[in-house]
Amino acid sequence: MKKNEYLNKEMNLAELNESYFPRFYIIHPEKCEKMKVATVSSQQLRIELDANAAKVPVNVKVTNDYNSIVSTACEELLKNLGLQISSKSADYELKIDVTPSARTVENPRMYYCEYTLSAKMTGKSDGVIVPWDAAGRSGDKTEELAKKKAYTSISEKIKSEYKDTFEEYFYQLN
């Protein structure tokens, strides 16, 4: 197990203990005070986890990005986890390949933008660390609106579905 994973588990345990302190304080105030002093707070562990994450530079590369919507979502996700975004010599690279395809449907006339995306986080020596694939489609009155809606949908999937997948692997990085 890696340092991030340990810190995350410790932080979760500290949060659980902190949720019990107010109840325990009513029964045994002296023992509760001693326990508070003896334990590390979840905030301190979060600071240590964030400091450890800030040491991990990540480069983001997105193919077929529409108005940088996907790149922005990826960078937001990584920054929320405390990682630093680096365009130079990064330890890890998050590469997302988006494959859009448009089609028209008559009666009523609608445009659809179907997409598949493949996300991979790779390390210099670790190979593929965080794989994830998704697909979907969005429709609208014009081809441009359909494409924009599809990329917005991709962005939302990255912020929610990929976030969950990424966090599982993230705590095993360092």
Query: 26 to each of 18, 31, 46, 56, how far by Cα in Å?
Result: 14, 10, 27, 43
Delimit the domains of the chain by residue range: 3-53, 57-170
pLDDT in tens, 9-42: 777 888 888 888 788 778 888 887 887 777 778 7
The C-alpha angle 134, 4, 124, rounded to 5 degrees, equals 65
Whether pTM > 0.85 for this model: the answer is: no
Tell me if residue 113 falls in helix, strand or coil: strand
Query: Residues in the chain with pLDDT < 70?
Result: 1-5, 106-107, 125-126, 170-174
Residue 156: predicted pLDDT: 92
pLDDT of residue 1: 31
Residue holding tokens 């089609």? 103
- Give the CATH H-level superfamily of domain 57-170: Lipoprotein like domain (3.30.160.150)
